Chain A
Amino acid sequence: MLDGVLSGVKVLDLTEDVAGSFCARLLGDYGADVLKLEPPGGAALRRMGPFHHDDPHPEKSLFFLLLNLNKKGATLNLETDTGKNILRRLAGYVDVIVESYRPGYLESLGLGHESLAADNPGLITTSITPFGQEGPYSQYQGGEIVEYAMSMVMSISGVQGREPLKHGGFQAQYEGGLFGAAATAMALFAQGNTGQGEHVDVSITECLASTMMATQTIYPFLGGVQARRRAEGSNFENPMPCKDGWIIVQAGGGATWEDIANFFEAPELLEPRFADRAQRARNGAEMDRVIIDAIKDREKWELFPKAAAARMLFGIVQTPMELVDCPQLESRGFYREVEHPVIGKIKVPAELFKLTETPYQLRLAAPTLGQHNREIYVEGLGYDAEQLVQLRQLGVV
Chain B
Amino acid sequence: MAKLPLDGIRVLDSTYVFALPYTGGQLADLGAEVIKVEGPGRPDITRTGGLYGTFPDNITGEDWWNRPSTYNLLNRGKRSLTLDMATERGRDLFRELVSLSDVVMENFTPRVMRGWGLDYPNLKQIKPDIILVSNTGYGHGDGPYSGYPAQATTQEGTHGHCWVTGYQGGEPSKAGRSFVDFLSTWSAVFAIGAALRYRNRTGKGQWVDIGMYQAGVMFLSEYLMDAISNGREGGRMGNRHPHRAPQGCYPTQGDDQWVALSVADDDQWQALARLMGRDDLAEDGRFVDILSRQRNHDELDEIIGGWTRERDRYDLMHALQGAGIAAGPVFNSRDVHFDPHYKSRNFLERVEFPPERQMGDRIIMGRPYKFSNTPIRIRRPAPEFGEGNEHYLRGLLGLDADSYGALVQDAVVATVPTSGEPAPTPDPQEAVARGQIAAWDPDYRERLGLG
Q: B224 near A323 (CB under 8 angstroms)? A: yes
- Range of interface residues on B (Cβ < 8 Å): 35 or more
Q: How far is the CA of A211 from the CA of B186 in the complex (A)?
A: 10
- Bound: A179/B22 CA distance, A: 13
Closest B residue to A220 by beta carbon equals B363
Q: How far is the CA of A250 from the CA of B402 in the complex (A)?
A: 45
Q: Is A150 an interface residue (CB 8 A)?
A: yes
Q: 8 Å CB contacts to A: which residues of B267-326?
A: 317, 321, 324-326
Q: Mind listing 22 A-B residue pairs with CB under 8 Å?
A: A6-B198, A66-B221, A143-B326, A145-B247, A148-B260, A150-B328, A150-B331, A152-B335, A168-B164, A181-B186, A187-B193, A211-B181, A228-B438, A238-B171, A239-B157, A247-B157, A323-B159, A328-B213, A349-B217, A349-B218, A353-B214, A355-B191
A210 touching B368 by the CB < 8 A rule?
yes
Residues of A within 8 A of B39 (CB): none
Tell me whether A364 is interfacial, beta carbon within 8 Å.
no
Given contacts A1-B202, A190-B374, A214-B54, 13 further A-B contacts (CB under 8 A): A113-B372, A140-B317, A144-B262, A178-B190, A183-B371, A189-B194, A214-B70, A217-B54, A223-B445, A229-B174, A314-B154, A328-B213, A331-B146
Interface string of B333-368 (1 = CB under 8 A from A): 111110111001101100000000000001111011
Question: By CB atoms of chain B within 10 A, which of A49, A317, A347 has the most?
Answer: A317
* B135, closest chain A residue (CB): A353
Verify if B392 is at the interface (C-beta below 8 Å from A).
no
Q: How far is the CA of A311 from the CA of B182 in the complex (A)?
A: 23
When chains A and B are docked, how far (Å) is the Cα of A349 from the Cα of B157?
A: 18
Q: Mark B413-451, 1 if CB is under 8 A from A, else 0.
A: 000000000011000100100011111111111001010
Q: Which residue of A lies closest to B260 (CB)?
A: A149
Q: Is the CB of A315 within 8 A of B144?
A: no
B428 contacts which of A153, A224, A238 (Cβ < 8 Å)?
Answer: A224
B204 interface hit (Cβ, 8 Å): yes
Q: Is the CB of B151 within 8 A of A151?
A: no
Interface: A329 (CB within 8 A): yes
Report Cα–Cα, A312/B57, bound state, in Å.
Answer: 33
B436/A218 in contact, CB under 8 A: no
The distance in angstroms between the C-alpha atoms of A152 and B347, with both chains bound, is 14
On whether the beta carbons of B150 and A313 are closer than 8 Å, the reply is: yes
Interface residue B125 (Cβ < 8 Å from any Cβ of A): no
Compute how far the CA of A112 lies from the CA of B34 in the bound complex, rounded to whole angstroms: 35
Contact of A352 with B214 in the complex, beta carbons under 8 Å: yes
A371 in contact (CB, < 8 A): no
Within 8 A of A (CB), among B101-141: 120, 138-141
Are the CB atoms of B230 and A50 closer together than 8 Å?
yes
A108 within 8 A of B: no
Q: Using a CB-CB cutoff of 8 Å, which residues 142-196 of chain A contact chain B?
A: 142-158, 160, 162-171, 174-175, 178-190, 192-194, 196
B41 at the interface (CB under 8 A from A): no
**What 1/0 mask marks residues of chain A from 317 to 337 whose CB sits below 8 Å from any chain B CB?**
111110110111111101000
A residues within 8 A CB of B69?
A: 214, 217-218, 220-222
CA distance A198 to B193 in the complex (A): 15
State whether B224 touches A324 (Cβ < 8 A). Answer: yes
B92-100, B238-246, B393-401, B403-411: which lies at the A interface? B238-246
Q: How far in angstroms is the closest Cβ of chain A from B157?
A: 4
Contact A353 B208 (CB under 8 A): yes
The verdict on A50 contacting B225 (CB below 8 Å), with A154-B260, A155-B332, A155-B333 known, is yes
* B313 → A minimal CB distance (Å): 10
**Is A357 an interface position by the 8 A CB rule?**
yes
Complex alpha-carbon distance, A87 and B153, angstroms: 45
Distance in angstroms between the alpha carbons of A165 and B164 in the assembled complex: 12
Tell me the bound Cα distance from A308 to B155 in angstroms: 12
| CB <8 Å contact, A227 and B436 | yes
Closest to B133 in A: A353
Which A-chain residue is minimally distant from B23 (CB atoms)? A182
Decide: B139 and A2 in contact? CB cutoff 8 A.
Answer: no
Residue B77 interfacial (CB < 8 Å): no
Tell me, yes or no, whether A105 is within 8 Å of chain B by CB: no
Residues A353 and B209 in contact, CB atoms below 8 Å apart: yes
Q: Which residues of A contact B331 (CB under 8 A)?
A: 149-152, 155
- Residues of A near B232 (CB, < 8 A) are 50, 320
B5 touches A190 (CB 8 A): yes
Q: With A164-B330, A194-B3, A213-B73 as given contacts, are A30 and B173 in contact (CB-CB < 8 Å)?
A: no
Check B22–A149 contact: CB distance below 8 A.
no
Q: Does A266 interact with chain B (Cβ within 8 Å)?
A: no
B336 A216 Cβ-Cβ under 8 A: yes
Q: Mark B221-261, 1 if CB is under 8 A from A, else 0.
A: 11111111111111011110111000111110000001111
User: Which A residues touch B435, using CB under 8 A?
Assistant: 160, 227, 230
Given A50-B226, A155-B333, CB of A224 within 8 Å of CB of B344 = no
Q: How many angstroms from the CA of A224 to the CA of B445 in the assembled complex?
A: 12
Contact indicator B229/A50 (Cβ below 8 Å): yes
A382 at interface by CB-CB < 8 Å = no
**Which residues from chain B contact A143 at a C-beta distance below 8 Å?**
262, 264, 326
Complex Cα gap A331–B144 (Å)? 8
Central interface residue in B138, B143, B150, by most chain A CB within 10 Å: B143
* Contact residue among A48, A54, A164, A175 (Cβ-Cβ distance under 8 Å from B230): A54
Given known contacts A247-B157, A332-B143, is B149 in contact with A312 (CB within 8 Å)? yes
A206 adjacent to B173 (CB under 8 Å): no
Q: Say yes or no: is A203 at the interface (Cβ < 8 Å to chain B).
A: yes
Q: How far is the CA of A247 from the CA of B162 in the complex (A)?
A: 10
**Beyond A141-B325, A213-B365, is A356–B207 a contact (Cβ under 8 Å)?**
yes
B162 partner, pick from A26, A248, A323, A328, beta carbons under 8 A: A248
Stretch at the interface among A71-79, A130-138, A388-396: A130-138
Return chain A residues, CB-CB under 8 Å to B165: 157, 165-168
Give Cα A214 to B341, complex, Å. 21
Check: A246 CB closer than 8 A to any chain B CB. Answer: yes
Q: Is the CB of A248 within 8 A of B157?
A: yes
Q: Quick one: which of B143, B160, B229, B230 contacts A327, CB cutoff 8 A?
A: B143
Q: Which of A136, A152, A217, A225 contacts B70 (CB 8 A)?
A: A217
State whether A323 touches B262 (Cβ < 8 A): no
Task: Verify B167–A318 contact, CB threshold 8 A.
Answer: no
In the complex formed, the residue of B with least CB distance to A321 is B227
When the two chains form their complex, are residues B368 and A157 in contact, meaning their CB atoms are under 8 A apart? Answer: no
Question: Does the CB pair B369–A180 fall under 8 Å?
Answer: yes
Q: At the interface, yes or no: A52 with Cβ under 8 Å from chain B?
A: yes
Q: Does A118 have its Cβ within 8 Å of any Cβ on chain B?
A: no
Instruction: For the complex, give the distance between the alpha carbons of A332 and B138 in Å.
Output: 9
Return the CB mask of B50-79 against A: 1 if under 8 Å, else 0: 111111111000000000011011100000
Residue from the list B22, B206, B344 in contact with A5, Cβ < 8 A: B206
